[in-house]
Amino acid sequence: MKKYYGAETEKALKNFPFSTHLVRVEFIFAVVKIKKAAASANFAAGNISKEIKNAIIKACDEILSGKRNDQFPLSSFQGGAGTAIHMNVNEVVANRASEISGVKVHPNDYVNASQSTNDVNPSALKVASLFLLQDLEIKLSALVKTFQKKSKEFKNINKLGRTHMQDAVPTTLGAEFMSYADSLNEHVKQIKNAKDLCKVLNLGGTAVGNSINASPAYIKQVYKELNKLTSEKFHKAKNLMSKTSGQTDFLIISQTITTLCVDLSKIANDFKFMSSGPNGGIGEIILPEIQKGSSIMPGKVNPVLPETVNQLYFLVSGNNVSIEKAVEGAQMELGVMIPIMVDRLIESIILSTETINQFDKLCVAGIKADKEKCKKHLEVSTAYATLLSPRLGYDKVSEIVKKSTTTKKSLRDIVVGENYLTEKEFEKIIKF
């Protein structure tokens, strides 16, 4: 393998020889997109020649095509605000551009002209996050539609509603699934807000946000070039120093993913409860059998995708804590803990997207209702008590509930059998 990276990358390989995965390619590509935009902006501002600009752009295009993935060997776990990651990109672009043009292209003087690690890396994380969030939004919206479809399918299936894991009041399976759909649809809105945060960059702020070594002409042009390259609307932050020294935007994005996973995990817990059985549990819904549930117990079907969703929440929640600590760990004019934010945030978004897609296609879409069990649990429960109270009174219904619990008779049997109401009157009251 020909090495296009140089001395700074070699130093980082020795300084950070950790057995974690490599820097995520999504981030590398985002940095390269900024380098490509910066080359055109620097040429427009008179900082580099056309020959060097074209060579840098061609080198960047090769990287973005996936041809140079083996040139980014650094561990994702490292110090230095990601300077090593940034210099790895600068060196690969510079050395390949030199080869293309036959002219020495310096990684700092040309590829990094008008830039700093401190404005490039946070901006690149936002660029990467924006495109990942777009995919997440698509997959989540698809899951919402699946829940809406199931809600219509189950709209006439009456069942027992539960609070505190106890009998509460009657509801429908369709209403439960519509509540899931609407809860998740709120998160679609929050993802849109997170995407807006990703479009506000500190690019052009250079080292501490006061734009040293970056001319106004370059700054204006680099956003035009980046937007042309990405077909997005990135724009300069009102206060570049604020976005360089503080990075709470990444925490807000992380918390958006975390709260989504909280609701997903709650839904997964409901599924595990409602599908428990098949004979010794609730069994109101039937999850698709996508793999054997046990190596020893024949016929066992486990809720493997709901359990995966639970573990997604555990992982994303842990990532969020790391990001929170990293954001708080900023010092003076720089948020120095960017490497762990890069790694943890990208993982949270990607894994959430992948898990939601599997949960939708392999679990939610294939759920079936057991109408008989839904009806049975409702009939033998005390759920009708609340509907009977306006007619018979709270105290009298409380007595009936106690008698039902003691005798194991249904409320219907007691109310109709002991002539509190006729069957016709009872049926009229319990319709909801």
pLDDT of residue 201: 98
Higher pLDDT, 427 or 64: 64
Is residue 220 included in any domain, yes or no?
no
Reading the block at residue 408, the tokens are 């194991």
Reading the block at residue 137, the tokens are 């939004």
Is residue 378 included in any domain, yes or no?
no
Which residues share a beta bridge with 250?
none
Long-range contacts of 306-311 (CB under 8 A, 24+ apart): 306/268, 306/269, 306/271, 306/272, 306/359, 306/363, 307/268, 307/272, 308/355, 308/358, 308/359, 309/261, 309/264, 309/265, 309/267, 309/268, 309/355, 309/359, 310/265, 310/268, 310/269
Last residue of a domain, one of 65, 84, 113: 113
CA distance 289 to 303: 9
Indicate if the alpha-carbon torsion angle 10, 16, 21, 23 is positive or negative. Answer: negative
Residue 279 has pLDDT above 90, yes or no: no
Same domain, 149 and 263: yes
pLDDT-based confidence at residue 301 (cuts at 50, 70, 90): confident
Query: Are β-strands 235-236 and 200-201 bridged in parallel, bridged antiparallel, or unpaired?
Result: parallel
pLDDT of residue 431: 85
Is residue 46 included in any domain, yes or no?
yes
pLDDT of residue 193: 97
Higher pLDDT, 277 or 58: 58
Q: What's the pLDDT tens digit per position in 382-427?
A: 999 899 999 999 999 999 999 999 999 999 999 999 999 999 999 9
Residue 296 has pLDDT above 90, yes or no: no
Q: What's the pLDDT tens digit per position in 72-87?
A: 999 999 999 999 999 9
pLDDT average, residue stretch 130-145 = 98
The structural domain count of the chain equals: 3
Is residue 238 included in any domain, yes or no?
no
CA distance 52 to 45: 14
Torsion of CA 54, 226, 138, 272, to 10 degrees: 100
Residue 328 has pLDDT above 90, yes or no: yes
CA distance 307 to 293: 12
Q: What's the pLDDT tens digit per position in 333-344?
A: 999 999 999 999
Q: What's the pLDDT tens digit per position in 150-206?
A: 999 999 999 999 999 999 999 999 999 999 999 999 999 999 999 999 999 999 999
Q: pTM of the entire structure? A: 0.94
Considering 294, 322, 348, 381, which one is annotated as catalytic? Answer: 294
Closest CA to 150 of 272, 283, 266, 285: 285
Same domain, 100 and 136: no
Range of the domain at 300: 119-203+243-372
Q: What's the pLDDT tens digit per position in 138-158?
A: 999 999 999 999 999 999 999
Same domain, 353 and 398: no
Same domain, 107 and 254: no
- Which CATH number covers residue 97? 1.10.275.10
Is residue 190 included in any domain, yes or no?
yes
Residue 70 has pLDDT above 80, yes or no: yes
pLDDT of residue 297: 77
Same domain, 285 and 390: no
Q: What's the pLDDT tens digit per position in 235-272?
A: 999 999 999 999 999 999 999 999 999 999 999 999 99
Is residue 211 included in any domain, yes or no?
no
pLDDT average, residue stretch 109-118 = 98
Q: What's the pLDDT tens digit per position in 218-240?
A: 999 999 999 999 999 999 999 99
Is residue 236 included in any domain, yes or no?
no
The question of whether 116 is a catalytic residue gets the answer no
pLDDT average, residue stretch 14-42 = 97
- Which CATH number covers residue 425? 1.10.40.30
Same domain, 366 and 296: yes
- Which CATH number covers residue 265? 1.20.200.10
Instruction: Name the amino acid, one letter, at 273.
Output: F
